[in-house]
Amino acid sequence: MRAMLTLRLPLFLGCILFAADGALAQPTPIDLGTLGDSVTYPLGMNNRGDVVGYSSGRLPSRAFLWTEKTGMFDLGALDSGATTAVAVNDRGQVVGTSGANGPRPGLHGSHVFLWTKQDGMVDLHAPPPNGGLNSFAGAINDRGRVIGTYDVGSGYHAFSWTAKEGMIDLGTLGGWRVVPAAVSNRDQVVGRSSLIPAPVPVFEFGQGHAFSWTPTGGMVDLGTLGGPSSAAEAVNEKGDVVGWAEVEEGVSHAFLWTKQDGMVDLTLDGFRSVAYAINDRGQVVGRNGTLDPLSIHAFVWTASKGMVDLAPLPGYASSEAFLVNNSGQVVGISYTEGVVADSRPTMWRATD
């Protein structure tokens, strides 16, 4: 699953069709619709193919859940302000971030929410002194463990939450900010931690490394591909981790990290690339540069086939793939480079 993103593009969603021998079949796009806004951005998908994200174009943005049975519908909000759904598990539990009232009158912040069909939207924000004004959701696993980032006053730390444990701090790699991206059903959390203790200028992360956190081992630095920075984006049930890492030249490359081999570069052509997701079958998806400096293409990588290009729809210059479930469904975007309004939400069905 993906963490919160800062891109503001109307999206092209897709599920890639995989043949039995692993070859790609012709995708069949399905329009997922919108909430009536110009921007529809998906951020999470479960193994049933349910999709969550946000719809925008007018303020504030609204969180949505799309299922094949119901279509797309608004999940509401905690109080007021922008609301975004970032992940959905196989039990149908949705997590996200919504504008909410602060601990004192007149204060307003962003809080993590948990949404279920039975209870609707519930605020999970930890009150002071355990947390500051803001918290942001990252992901949820099938056991109901929620991860995210919360304000500790001097920076942002990663947290893990369950109904039994409440909110616990996962620590850092010594820096002021931690962004967890995904959590497995074995409670392994991956993401990115800064290495700089003091806050850097606003909107800047500073040097950071990919990390893996487990309840027994704590937070472990996964290193880089020779450059200064890296970030983990997803983890599967085998403990395999994907993301991006900079090489010595300062260019980011997609990586696959395993306990056996450590961090392996998935990029063979030298272009900038990012791996966004991995499923339990070892299929990795992401984005890769092309010979055209203005064009980016989605890819799917497997150990047997390597990196296979997923070209955008006819008439579009770029594509990205950032979610894949165990059925082989891939959710991504197709858009015209530099024209944020020129794209549409779609899904590609997957079969074996």
Q: Which domains does the chain have, with CATH numbers?
A: 29-348 (2.130.10.150)
CA dihedral (254, 63, 157, 130) in degrees, to 10, reads -170
Please tell me the predicted confidence (pLDDT) of residue 100: 74
Please tell me the predicted confidence (pLDDT) of residue 113: 93
Q: Which pLDDT band holds residue 322 (cuts at 50, 70, 90)?
A: confident
How much of the chain is helix, strand and coil, in % rounded to 5?
0, 50, 50
- Per residue in 159-179, pLDDT (tens digit) is 999 989 888 899 899 888 999
Please tell me the predicted confidence (pLDDT) of residue 30: 65
Q: Rounded to an integer, what distance in angstroms lies between the CA atom of residue 138 and that of residue 50?
A: 17
296-302 vs 166-169, strand pairing mode: unpaired
In b/e form, how buried is each residue of 155-178, taking b as 16+ CB within 10 angstroms?
bbbbbbbeeeeebeebebbebbbb
* pTM assigned to the model: 0.86
Six token digits for residue 301: 């990588």
Please tell me the predicted confidence (pLDDT) of residue 7: 32
Please tell me the predicted confidence (pLDDT) of residue 296: 82
Q: Rounded to an integer, what distance in angstroms lies between the CA atom of residue 295 and that of residue 251?
A: 16
Give DSSP secondary structure letters for 108-148: EEEEEEEEETTTEEEE-PPPTTS--S-EEEEEE-TT--EEE
- Per residue in 64-109, pLDDT (tens digit) is 999 989 999 999 999 878 999 999 999 999 999 998 765 554 456 7
Please tell me the predicted confidence (pLDDT) of residue 109: 79
What's CA 324's distance to the chain center, in Å? 11
Q: With H, G, I as helix, E, B as strand and everything else as coil, classify residue 245.
A: strand
Please tell me the predicted confidence (pLDDT) of residue 311: 74
Six token digits for residue 184: 């497995």
Please tell me the predicted confidence (pLDDT) of residue 346: 55
* N- to C-terminal Cα separation, the chain: 21
- Per residue in 126-163, pLDDT (tens digit) is 554 455 678 899 999 999 999 999 888 778 889 999 98
Q: Which pLDDT band holds residue 194 (cuts at 50, 70, 90)?
A: very high
Residue 338 has pLDDT above 60, yes or no: no
Higher pLDDT, 232 or 202: 232
Residue 15 has pLDDT above 80, yes or no: no
Q: Rounded to an integer, what distance in angstroms lies between the CA atom of residue 276 and that of residue 330?
A: 11
Residue 314 has pLDDT above 90, yes or no: no
Q: What is the mean pLDDT of residues 5-12?
A: 34
Residue 5 has pLDDT above 50, yes or no: no
Question: Which residues pair with residue 183 across a beta bridge?
Answer: 189
**DSSP at 21:** T
The closest of 201, 211, 146, 144 to 174, measured between CA atoms, is 211
Computed over every residue of the chain, the mean pLDDT equals 82
Please tell me the predicted confidence (pLDDT) of residue 22: 45
- Per residue in 235-290, pLDDT (tens digit) is 999 999 999 999 998 899 999 999 999 999 998 777 899 999 999 999 999 998 87
- Per residue in 23-74, pLDDT (tens digit) is 445 445 567 778 887 777 889 999 999 999 988 877 788 999 999 899 999 9
Please tell me the predicted confidence (pLDDT) of residue 271: 83
Please tell me the predicted confidence (pLDDT) of residue 33: 78
